Chains A and B, each alone.
Chain A
């Protein structure tokens, strides 16, 4: 009995121990399991669900990015690599004013500061350009990465670095910038990483000079990849030459060119007859072209001479139109050394100031529409596609191995073929349809962009400006200039391939070297104007010159803003800075002026009632302005859209089979005005022969239906509601984007607002004894969505307000506005 009792106790005891052990093991497993789950992102179809413990814990998660809003700190930072002391004061918009003993220190600190404010933006934009997104965001981006690589973005960057290395002076500045960025990165703890790194669960990596090249190439791609060679080729093959030439004229005869039409060109150019253009390939090109940059990326700049201003001082203005993003593409900065004192906007990843001013001069840029991106059909020697035919000779392709790392850990190797033209971007099963891309920015061997920017930052007069521009090659820019001395000037600056009329408009036969570019327009023959009689210089992406210029310009040019701008500037006198602000924010649409009266005329005699009558009346009284609260812009846009679709229905039909070129709106308007019975107005599907009048009337009804539907769905009719502009986060995180932007403007207005693009920096500089400068951009200096300076300028920008720029000589001038001081060494 005793024995059994004892065994019972021990049994119970043992059982209890067993039970506790099991409980312990279960609890331990649960703890470790939960910790594991909370420390690892959960794979999801599109974007992973972030690791909650990592993200939420306030010691290293996102709460660490909730930076303090308090101001007035003075911070000491020691950086080994600086040769002297550098002081940086940040004004009330977090604009850094760098004061250094020499340029090398200043650029080093510029690198440090840009990393401090925009590190993730720098990382993601270079990754996106060079095809490295799959590595961090998931395998669904492999296809995109592949395309970026096949476009030769990495190839272009490598070539740029190789060129830069040949100029030790500027290369050293690039390495100083790099080292400054890396000095910042190297002292970061994971808790300090920008929030996007935490959300996407990866780490910053060191900056390289190559990344600066990649950033510059991404800008070049944005500005050059709007070509439509494939679509034009298809349209030519589909409609035949006669119709093509009729509906797709390359040259807009009524344009008001950038270089005043009366400018005389006292050189011959080259004999273009020696270029033998071969027939355009006749095969259809069925690839859907790559995602092109928004067609409404463009810019305005102008300078008015003292003769036209109230103060007698020249005034220079610039507003580049780019994709609107948060963080913004621009970063404001002042750089001061004993030799240089300049202020303006920089790019996150590029040293120096890109658009700005100093005590003596101001400068700005817009893009030149000249086509420097051409496609060539490759004639393979045989099915192995290892060699191709050029002038009857067999030439082997060279290979560039692209290693695409993926998030799942695999590495995909894409061996991209290169011909003399460039990378074979599109490769298909159809051996006759493979194409190489020739892009000026691929292997530019004389480009020294940084030398241009350093030169401009330090320029004192027209000659310095002129000298600095010689080093800038691609993408060509209209560089506007004004000086305190009273000069104004504009140069269509960059390396521009010499082309015959229409050369490069279509895909070309890549088996003939005669189809290549015939050299470049010599630098002393680029179109330019200095102190023209009219008292102003201006550009808005329109054609560079009149037809008198000895070299033809082939490319994509904007047809409305340039004329609007010149017309307005022509009429203005006693100009003040305020007038210039109003002009940058002008919402007048010349395209409406040139089409609506004819559309209204076509409505004569139509008996309308109710809503239709009301809308037509409103349109009759409309002044073609796109003010935010008006509904007329929406009526017009919808009406015109339907009219355009109705007119070019044959093109839309063909576009379902193959990507097609679409006619310009100026051509459409010209037909409406002068050729109302043009064959394209006839709808083939009906027995009746329609004219422009019929199409206009039909599209009015379509517009009414669209408006009725919008009203029914409760969507607003005010222009800003219809346009629906939001400044999106660069990583497409909706929570980090802006709200709806309530301003006016439209794609053809000087205030060139679209759903996704707009003026990315508005600058006005009056060059008097004291520089007076104003600026604003749609964002803020900080890239941190948790910073009060993330989008603090957005509202002023929306309302057309400006900040007075604090262009200082010494930190004391900012004493009452300093929110942070960083003292280096």
Chain B
């Protein structure tokens, strides 16, 4: 339950922050949420990974569908021939990784702080 709520919080709050700040500002947002929720380190990583992967993937899917895939088709070629779906997946994974690490950092930080 705490995991699910954390993920939802990450999705909403990180999306708000990323709309107005540089993308890496998602790191403190995720870390604070996983720390505050006292998630274990595994769960902290998972919450960050899933939360950010969802935000990045969903937004990319929205933009891509409004664009009918024109740009993703070309940029995919730039990434060595990825189709738009794989490009969205790559986006999600890269976002997930940084979100996961931020989540892990938050959980561990909470343990240190007590």
Q: Are B74 and A59 in contact (CB under 8 A)?
A: no
Q: Are A68 and B66 in contact (CB under 8 A)?
A: yes
Q: Are B23 and A59 in contact (CB under 8 A)?
A: yes
Q: Which of A21, A52, A69 meets B66, CB within 8 Å?
A: A69
Kindly report which residue of chain A lies nearest to residue B19, judged by CB atoms.
Answer: A59
Kindly report which residue of chain A lies nearest to residue B107, judged by CB atoms.
Answer: A27
- B70 partner residues in chain A, CB cutoff 8 A: 66, 69, 785-788, 790
Contact A786:B94 (CB < 8 A) given known A57-B23, A736-B74: no
**Residue B98 at the A interface, CB < 8 A?**
yes
- A64 partner residues in chain B, CB cutoff 8 A: 63
A24, A59, A65, A67: most-surrounded residue (chain B CB, <10 A): A59
**Residue A706 at the B interface, CB < 8 A?**
no
- B77 partner residues in chain A, CB cutoff 8 A: 734-735
- A69 partner residues in chain B, CB cutoff 8 A: 66-68, 70
What mask results when residues 76 to 106 of chain B are scored 1 for a CB within 8 Å of chain A, else 0? 1110000000000011001101100110110
What mask results when residues 53 to 67 of chain B are scored 1 for a CB within 8 Å of chain A, else 0? 000100110011011
Q: Are A66 and B67 in contact (CB under 8 A)?
A: yes
Q: Are A39 and B105 in contact (CB under 8 A)?
A: no
Kindly report which residue of chain A lies nearest to residue B92, judged by CB atoms.
Answer: A56
Contact A35:B68 (CB < 8 A) given known A52-B94, A57-B95, A62-B75: no
A69 CA / B64 CA spacing, docked (Å): 10
Contact A31:B102 (CB < 8 A) given known A20-B112, A57-B56: yes
Q: Are A35 and B94 in contact (CB under 8 A)?
A: no
- A58 partner residues in chain B, CB cutoff 8 A: 56, 59-60, 63, 91
Q: Are A63 and B64 in contact (CB under 8 A)?
A: yes
**Residue A17 at the B interface, CB < 8 A?**
yes
- B64 partner residues in chain A, CB cutoff 8 A: 63, 66
What mask results when residues 726 to 737 of chain A are scored 1 for a CB within 8 Å of chain B, else 0? 000000011110
Q: Which of A30, A53, A785 meets B74, CB within 8 Å?
A: A785
Kindly report which residue of chain A lies nearest to residue B44, judged by CB atoms.
Answer: A27
Q: Are A23 and B108 in contact (CB under 8 A)?
A: yes
Q: Are A63 and B91 in contact (CB under 8 A)?
A: yes
Q: Are B112 and A21 in contact (CB under 8 A)?
A: yes
**Residue A327 at the B interface, CB < 8 A?**
no
- B19 partner residues in chain A, CB cutoff 8 A: 59
- B90 partner residues in chain A, CB cutoff 8 A: 56
- B39 partner residues in chain A, CB cutoff 8 A: none
Contact A39:B24 (CB < 8 A) given known A27-B101, A69-B67, A788-B68: yes
Q: Are A67 and B67 in contact (CB under 8 A)?
A: yes
**Residue B4 at the A interface, CB < 8 A?**
no
Interface size class of A (residues with CB under 8 A): 35 or more
Shortest B52–chain A CB gap in Å is 9
Q: Which of A54, A199, A735, A788 meets B23, CB within 8 Å?
A: A54
Shortest B112–chain A CB gap in Å is 5
Q: Which of A35, A59, A66 meets B18, CB within 8 Å?
A: A59
- A62 partner residues in chain B, CB cutoff 8 A: 71, 75
**Residue A60 at the B interface, CB < 8 A?**
yes
A65 CA / B90 CA spacing, docked (Å): 17
Contacts between chains A and B (CB distance < 8 A), count:
120
**Residue A475 at the B interface, CB < 8 A?**
no
What mask results when residues 262 to 289 of chain A are scored 1 for a CB within 8 Å of chain B, else 0? 0000000000000000000000000000
- B2 partner residues in chain A, CB cutoff 8 A: none
Kindly report which residue of chain B lies nearest to residue A64, judged by CB atoms.
Answer: B63
- B63 partner residues in chain A, CB cutoff 8 A: 58, 63-64, 66
Q: Are B71 and A30 in contact (CB under 8 A)?
A: no
- B108 partner residues in chain A, CB cutoff 8 A: 20, 23-24, 27-28
- B41 partner residues in chain A, CB cutoff 8 A: 23, 27
A35, A57, A62: most-surrounded residue (chain B CB, <10 A): A57
Q: Are B75 and A34 in contact (CB under 8 A)?
A: no
Contact A53:B67 (CB < 8 A) given known A35-B24, A59-B18, A736-B74: no
A701 CA / B67 CA spacing, docked (Å): 53
**Residue A581 at the B interface, CB < 8 A?**
no
What mask results when residues 12 to 49 of chain A are scored 1 for a CB within 8 Å of chain B, else 0? 00000100110110011011101100110000000000
A62 CA / B66 CA spacing, docked (Å): 14
**Residue A606 at the B interface, CB < 8 A?**
no
Kindly report which residue of chain B lies nearest to residue A54, judged by CB atoms.
Answer: B23
Shortest A305–chain B CB gap in Å is 45
Kindly report which residue of chain B lies nearest to residue A50, judged by CB atoms.
Answer: B78
**Residue A349 at the B interface, CB < 8 A?**
no
Contact A24:B91 (CB < 8 A) given known A65-B71, A66-B72, A734-B77: no
**Residue A257 at the B interface, CB < 8 A?**
no
Q: Are A53 and B18 in contact (CB under 8 A)?
A: no
A67 CA / B41 CA spacing, docked (Å): 39
B18, B64, B97, B108: most-surrounded residue (chain A CB, <10 A): B108
A98 CA / B98 CA spacing, docked (Å): 47
A63 CA / B77 CA spacing, docked (Å): 15
Shortest A481–chain B CB gap in Å is 40
- A57 partner residues in chain B, CB cutoff 8 A: 18, 23, 56, 91, 95
Q: Are A66 and B111 in contact (CB under 8 A)?
A: no
Shortest B53–chain A CB gap in Å is 12
Q: Are A38 and B94 in contact (CB under 8 A)?
A: yes
- A65 partner residues in chain B, CB cutoff 8 A: 71
Q: Are A785 and B71 in contact (CB under 8 A)?
A: yes
A68 CA / B63 CA spacing, docked (Å): 7
- B91 partner residues in chain A, CB cutoff 8 A: 56-58, 63
**Residue A61 at the B interface, CB < 8 A?**
yes
Kindly report which residue of chain B lies nearest to residue A784, judged by CB atoms.
Answer: B71
Shortest A782–chain B CB gap in Å is 10
- A54 partner residues in chain B, CB cutoff 8 A: 23
- A23 partner residues in chain B, CB cutoff 8 A: 41, 108
- A621 partner residues in chain B, CB cutoff 8 A: none
**Residue A70 at the B interface, CB < 8 A?**
yes
Contact residues, A738-776 vs B (CB, 8 A): none
Q: Are A61 and B23 in contact (CB under 8 A)?
A: yes
Shortest B108–chain A CB gap in Å is 4
Q: Are A733 and B78 in contact (CB under 8 A)?
A: yes
Q: Are B74 and A34 in contact (CB under 8 A)?
A: no
A284 CA / B95 CA spacing, docked (Å): 61
Contact residues, B16-67 vs A (CB, 8 A): 18-19, 22-24, 27, 31, 41, 56, 59-60, 63-64, 66-67
B23, B90, B104: most-surrounded residue (chain A CB, <10 A): B23
A58 CA / B95 CA spacing, docked (Å): 10
Q: Which of A38, A70, A735 meets B75, CB within 8 Å?
A: A735
Q: Which of B67, B74, B102 meets A68, CB within 8 Å?
A: B67
A781 CA / B31 CA spacing, docked (Å): 45
A65 CA / B19 CA spacing, docked (Å): 15
A59 CA / B91 CA spacing, docked (Å): 12
- A199 partner residues in chain B, CB cutoff 8 A: 78
Kindly report which residue of chain A lies nearest to residue B62, judged by CB atoms.
Answer: A58
Shortest A728–chain B CB gap in Å is 14
- A790 partner residues in chain B, CB cutoff 8 A: 70
Q: Are B101 and A34 in contact (CB under 8 A)?
A: yes
Kindly report which residue of chain B lies nearest to residue A18, judged by CB atoms.
Answer: B112
A-B contact pairs, 26 of them (CB 8 A): A20-B108, A27-B41, A30-B101, A31-B31, A31-B98, A31-B101, A31-B105, A32-B27, A34-B101, A38-B98, A53-B94, A56-B95, A59-B18, A60-B23, A63-B60, A63-B63, A66-B67, A66-B70, A66-B72, A67-B66, A67-B71, A195-B71, A735-B75, A786-B74, A786-B75, A788-B68
Ranked 5 nearest A-B pairs via Cβ: A786-B71, A66-B67, A735-B77, A24-B108, A57-B23
Having A31-B105, A57-B56, one finds 4 other A-B pairs with CB under 8 Å, namely: A24-B112, A38-B24, A38-B98, A61-B23
